Structure 1
């Protein structure tokens, strides 16, 4: 099989895959995602990595199986597990740790051999050496205050992630980053963060896969977390269109947030990898105002490569690329990108 026809996934021994926006949106599958994954996991192990620390991995796994993901070499890893693994390497087994957030936080600590405590279980005689702070629908003022008190007293402070918002059925809601921000008003301390875009979650996922860096690829739809995080962890990445980040976001991405490959969905793992071209071959060009214009009708994969190549070349040379959302939205439609 020639390099030009080799599926991208054949170049790797493990995949770290984002979930929301890549595999599912809420309770529904992203079209074609599960079929592609069932083909991938038949030959290459996949670790689904999520910043969502509130749900235990088993709950996420149940969701994936309900969507149709077949039993195979796949697992779910969370930022709460990465936080617990970080502390397990620094504390004695059984050490009490304040667990703030959803049930996934306490479960991660237990799995790592530590003793999670809720705020109501604390007492004046309990020596709490660390706290893990994650998002949860029932997080209270009392819990946030206790995190501040413990951190001020010298406890190790670990935050599962710093996502400012989380998507809900009614819109954006405050995420763990907002709650961490509230605690930071009480102390000059800065938490150790284990979720994306920091490298800890990717390193933890890779330890589960048992793969080396050059044999692992990250798949995600957020440039600022999935792709930037992959780069910080020294891993190749594939950006998926149709999720949180748009074609315009990809085109204007700074160098430290650019993926190795890009695709229209998880099916991109089963096809030759799309990446920046050496030249655009006259498929697209810039108008005098800096707008991107399509000059030749080609297949969507080739057009996508030409668009991104021209955009990145333009920015890297310090030239103007027009940020007209209508133009970029029209290009997404022309490429057949499906948005919720």
Structure 2
């Protein structure tokens, strides 16, 4: 039996499973996000790790998570490579050749569904599967181009344009997908977030009746949650920023927004997107103007204000800037880029 979020003692208590993104949410490269381990350590919810990154096997991902101190097992890791392999198996005959643009981990998932991974167009592939690999080069993209232009089915593990690392954002699988899209004038089937297959596989694997999606990207994690009708928590530790939240299209709007994962263990209403009685937000035809209703803004911080302003920003998506005549409010919004 689950508890509705509004009556729960903490945000996470309203859900029976957490479907957790990895890159930018739990870690960046080899480093865990500050406070992430402690935030997940309490609670009885099942933890499932759902990643668009197809470069590593579930066992490798689980080992990395365990090394960083997270409670993880291979059976609770759901990758876009697994979902991509499932899509292939549903559409082509067993034993068919699939040209793999990606790591051996992706090739292993193809083999696991009784398909034959190959690396050359000369091997007559009937499909191409593409996932992130740091060693992807012109040669393998050329093989894939030949196959796709010859009519091969094309499945992309994900279309993330960037990948968060400890050094900052670098190009992701979507940037490589864009190269093939340009070269072939074709569009792939997509397995990973925000497309539904990966989220559907995660829900099925977890057996959850009311899961919460947790991630750092509006265009993958949050849109993916909305695509399958799930509630979501956006943490501002990775790719998406405050201004991204304010400019979010309807399909990318989260249920909750927080600065970090510790929000899972605080009351749900502290992170829920909604109006704050301490402030008014008016649209003057050009800008959103925020003013406090009292002399003091109390303990309000930048993210608290963001959740309030988002309601008006989504109502008036044509707004230009976010402004205020109150110095303390202006200071809070100064780093939004709005």
The verdict on a shared fold, with TM-score over 0.5 as the criterion, is: yes
Shift of 1:290: 3.4
- Mapped partners of 2:126, 2:234: distance in 1: 39
What SS class does the counterpart of residue 58 from structure 1 fall into? helix
1:282 equivalent in alignment to 2:278: yes
Determine the C-alpha separation between the residues in 2 that align with 1:81 and 1:104: 10
- Structure 1 unpaired stretches of 5+: 336-340
Separation of aligned partners in 2, 1:226 and 1:161: 12
What is aligned with 1:104?
105
Tell me the equivalent position of 1:218.
Answer: 213
The alignment status of 1:87 with 2:70, answered yes or no, reads: no
1:1-340 paired onto structure 2 within 5 Å: 3-40=6-43, 43-70=44-71, 75-119=76-120, 123=122, 126-168=123-165, 171-212=168-209, 215-273=210-268, 274-277=271-274, 279-285=275-281, 290-294=288-292, 295=294, 296-300=296-300, 304-317=303-316, 320=319, 322-323=321-322, 330-331=331-332
Q: CA, structure 1 residues 186+73, in 2 after alignment: closer, same or farther (shift >3 Å)? A: closer
Structure 2 unmatched ranges of 5 or more: none
CA distance in 1, matches of 2:235, 2:313: 22
Q: Counterpart of 1:185 in 2: which secondary structure?
A: helix
How many residues are paired up? 324
- How far 1:321 moved relative to its partner? 5.6
Q: CA deviation at 1:328?
A: 9.1
Contact 1:292 1:322 in 2 (8 A): no
Shift of 1:34: 0.8
CA distance in 2, matches of 1:165, 1:71: 25
Q: What is residue 338 of structure 1 aligned with on the other side? A: none
TM-score, normalisation: structure 2: 0.83
Secondary structure of the residue aligned to 2:200 is helix
Post-superposition offset of 1:135: 2.1
Q: 1:151 to 1:204 in 2, by over 3 A?
A: same
Give CA-to-partner distance per residue, 1:7-55, whole Å, 9 cap, x none.
2222222221111221112222212111122224xx2222211121112
Task: State the Cα distance separating 1:320 from its structure 2 match.
Answer: 3.7
Q: Provide closer, same or farther for how the CA distance between residues 183 and 249 of structure 1 changes in structure 2, counting only shifts above 3 A.
A: closer
Which runs of at least 4 in structure 1 moved beyond 6 Å after TM superposition? 332-335
Which one is further off, 241-250 or 288-297?
A: 288-297
Residues 139-172 of structure 1: CA deviation (Å, up to 9, x unaligned): 2322112112212222211011112233455554
Tell me, in whole angstroms, the C-alpha distance in 1 between the residues paired with 2:308 and 2:18.
25
* Secondary structure in 2 matching 1:242: coil
Q: Normalised by the size of structure 1, how large is the TM-score?
A: 0.83
Question: Does the 8 Å contact 2:30/2:166 carry over to 1?
Answer: no
SS at match of 1:144: helix
Compute the RMSD of aligned alpha carbons: 3.2
CA distance in 2, matches of 1:157, 1:86: 10
